[in-house]
């Protein structure tokens, strides 16, 4: 009499062993080395195109968990923080995705609701201490609800391969004990399309940065990234040249920046649009000992494509040295609205960069008409109406002072001066900048336009570009 089990029963037992309940025999008791059990479980899920749930617990591993080339699989934890995979070996990945070859193409897969950790702190020099390492180009995937507690870079793309594309990345938390940053894409061989980043939280306490290094792509959309506590002065973003990216909102709350750095570096030929950018908090130090701190550096190493920012809100609790909003090469650069604290923020460095040639600040170039400025001298403040009207007879000579801080100006900023019932006899209007006379208006019922062209000094940049009588 044969004691062999029916084939259907064997398959059922195999399913149970590697299913959500079986986990290949992994215990997750924070004591046992679960490497072999988890590796067998992962192999089964990928080979059989299955979804497996890794229940709550801490699963210790002592080698990278290899996710072989394959498609239509999912690894779901119970909840990030409840399901934790801990690497006990130093300078090793936790998940190594696709090192077994380039075929089949890895698509239609998911990793969710897991926390990745190391038994020991991993210094930034441990370049292989990556909770997730992409060793093959992957596409059409989902990374959601993940937490990265320790490591060097949390997510790394192996140099020399195509970057991940067509992915949904959402609810990712990069915690304080990461030493290098959140993502490292240096050496990625091509720009990649169709990634969507949702909400990211990044605690930069120990990160040396760049936090997101050499990331790239096109048709790339980012929702919200919250950076906090950049105590080591890390660069936030390095965006590779040629990228096309739309970002909803970025916040940096608190940090210590005492060295020269570009917070967001944008490579040549890139097209980047940001909805909101906030920098500030109750412990925001911007005070380089030498050099400059720049919020947005465009076209580093060559001409940029476009940069567009809707809203900037900036404040600092310690502020000193040269702090610039934007700098770099020429390009189509636009900022619509800015709000600063009382610190002396500078828009760009017109003495050493060409940014001011192609930058437009809508807040300062607003096409509004002033009220009657009356029988008085007037000093223009940036953000005032661009059309300045004097309609009351002068009782003595008056002056109009144009803005005289070159690093807050840009090519094409203009002020139109409308004289209608003001100038009479010797009661003239002198237009000047920084005490330097630009023009004296002896006639009434005229319209004059003064436009600024980038120059190392503000006064030298203002010139009359229009003069016409009014009816």
Q: Answer whether residue 90 shows pLDDT above 50.
A: yes
Task: Summarize pLDDT for 337-379 with one digit per residue, the tens.
Answer: 999 999 999 999 998 888 999 999 999 999 999 999 999 999 9
Query: What percent of the chain shows pLDDT beyond 90?
Result: 88
Task: Return the sign of the alpha-carbon dihedral for residues 399, 403, 406, 412.
Answer: negative
Residues whose CB is less than 8 angstroms from the CB of residue 464 and which lie 6 or more positions away in sequence, other chains included: 438, 439, 448, 449, 450
User: What whole-number distance in Å separates Cα of residue 80 and Cα of residue 471?
Assistant: 73
For position 80, what pLDDT does the model report? 82
To the nearest 10°, report the CA torsion of 14, 15, 16, 20: 140
Task: Summarize pLDDT for 203-251 with one digit per residue, the tens.
Answer: 999 999 999 999 999 999 999 999 999 999 999 999 999 999 999 999 9
pTM (predicted TM-score): 0.92
Instruction: Give the class (CATH, top level) of 369-469.
Output: mainly beta
Q: What average pLDDT does range 457-466 have in this prediction?
A: 96
301 vs 117: which has the higher pLDDT: 117
- Tell me if 48 sits within 8 A of 24, measured CB to CB: no
| Residue 298 burial by Cβ neighbours in a 10 Å radius (0-12, 13-18, 19+) | buried
Query: What percent of the chain shows pLDDT beyond 70?
Result: 95
| Residue 222 burial by Cβ neighbours in a 10 Å radius (0-12, 13-18, 19+) | buried
User: What whole-number distance in Å separates Cα of residue 419 and Cα of residue 395?
Assistant: 14
Task: Summarize pLDDT for 141-177 with one digit per residue, the tens.
Answer: 999 999 999 999 999 999 999 999 999 999 999 999 9
Residue 189: other Cβ atoms inside 10 A = 12
Q: What average pLDDT does range 425-430 have in this prediction?
A: 98
Q: Answer whether residue 20 shows pLDDT above 80.
A: no
- Give the pLDDT band (50/70/90) at residue 12: very low
- Tell me if 121 sits within 8 A of 84, measured CB to CB: no
Domain extents for the chain?
7-361, 369-469
Average the pLDDT over each of 44-48, 82-86, 349-353, 428-432 and give the range with the smallest value: 349-353
Q: What average pLDDT does range 288-303 have in this prediction?
A: 89
User: What whole-number distance in Å separates Cα of residue 398 and Cα of residue 427?
Assistant: 7
Residue 371: other Cβ atoms inside 10 A = 9
For position 24, what pLDDT does the model report? 76
Q: Answer whether residue 22 shows pLDDT above 80.
A: no
Q: Answer whether residue 81 shows pLDDT above 90.
A: no
- Tell me if 360 sits within 8 A of 412, measured CB to CB: yes
- Tell me if 140 sits within 8 A of 105, measured CB to CB: no
Full strand arrangement of the beta sheet holding 387-390: 369-372, 387-390, 414-419, 446-452, 462-469
For position 17, what pLDDT does the model report? 53
Q: Answer whether residue 397 shows pLDDT above 90.
A: yes
131 vs 13: which has the higher pLDDT: 131
What's the CATH number for 7-361?
2.160.20.10
For position 157, what pLDDT does the model report? 97
């Amino acid at each position: 009499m044969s004691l062999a089990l029916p084939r259907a029963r064997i398959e059922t037992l195999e399913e149970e062993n590697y299913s959500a309940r079986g986990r290949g025999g992994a215990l997750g008791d924070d004591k046992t080395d679960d490497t072999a059990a988890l590796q067998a479980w992962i192999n089964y899920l990928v080979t059989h195109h299955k979804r497996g749930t890794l229940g709550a617990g801490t699963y210790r591993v002592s080698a990278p968990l290899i996710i072989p080339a394959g498609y239509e699989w999912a690894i779901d934890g119970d909840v990030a923080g409840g399901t934790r995979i801990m690497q006990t070996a130093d300078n090793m990945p936790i998940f190594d995705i696709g090192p077994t070859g380039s075929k089949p193409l890895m698509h239609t897969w998911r990793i969710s609701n897991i926390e990745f950790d190391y038994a020991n702190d991993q210094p930034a020099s441990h370049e292989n201490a990556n909770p997730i390492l992409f060793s093959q180009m992957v596409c059409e995937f989902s990374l959601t609800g993940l937490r990265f507690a320790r490591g060097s870079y949390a997510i790394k793309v192996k140099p020399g391969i195509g970057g991940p594309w067509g992915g949904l990345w959402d609810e990712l938390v990069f915690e304080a004990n990461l030493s290098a940053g959140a993502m490292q894409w240096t050496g990625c061989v091509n720009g990649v399309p169709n990634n969507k980043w949702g909400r990211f939280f990044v605690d930069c306490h120990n990160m040396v940065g760049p936090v997101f290094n050499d990331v790239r792509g096109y048709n790339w959309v980012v929702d919200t990234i919250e950076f906090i506590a950049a105590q080591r002065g890390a660069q936030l973003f390095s965006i590779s040249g040629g990228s096309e990216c739309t970002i909803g909102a970025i916040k940096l709350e608190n940090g210590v920046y005492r060295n020269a750095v570009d917070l967001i570096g944008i490579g040549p030929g890139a097209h980047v649009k940001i909805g909101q950018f906030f920098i500030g908090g109750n412990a925001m130090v911007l005070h380089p000992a030498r050099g400059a701190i720049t919020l947005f550096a465009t076209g580093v190493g060559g001409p940029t494509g476009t940069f567009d920012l809707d809203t900037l809100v900036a404040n600092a609790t310690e502020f000193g040295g040269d702090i610039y909003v934007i700098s770099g090469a020429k390009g189509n650069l636009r900022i619509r609205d800015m709000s600063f604290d009382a610190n002396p923020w500078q828009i760009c460095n017109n003495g050493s960069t060409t940014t001011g040639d192609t930058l437009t600040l809508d807040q300062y170039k607003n096409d509004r008409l002033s009220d009657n400025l009356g029988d008085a001298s007037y000093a223009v403040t940036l953000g005032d109406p661009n059309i300045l009207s004097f309609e009351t007879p002068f009782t003595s000579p008056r002056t109009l002072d144009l803005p005289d801080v070159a690093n807050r100006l840009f090519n094409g900023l203009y002020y139109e001066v409308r004289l209608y019932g003001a100038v009479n006899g010797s009661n003239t209007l002198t237009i000047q900048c920084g005490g330097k006379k630009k023009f004296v208006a002896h006639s009434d019922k005229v319209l004059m336009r003064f436009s600024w062209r980038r120059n190392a000094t503000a006064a030298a940049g203002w010139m009359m570009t229009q003069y016409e009588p009014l009816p």
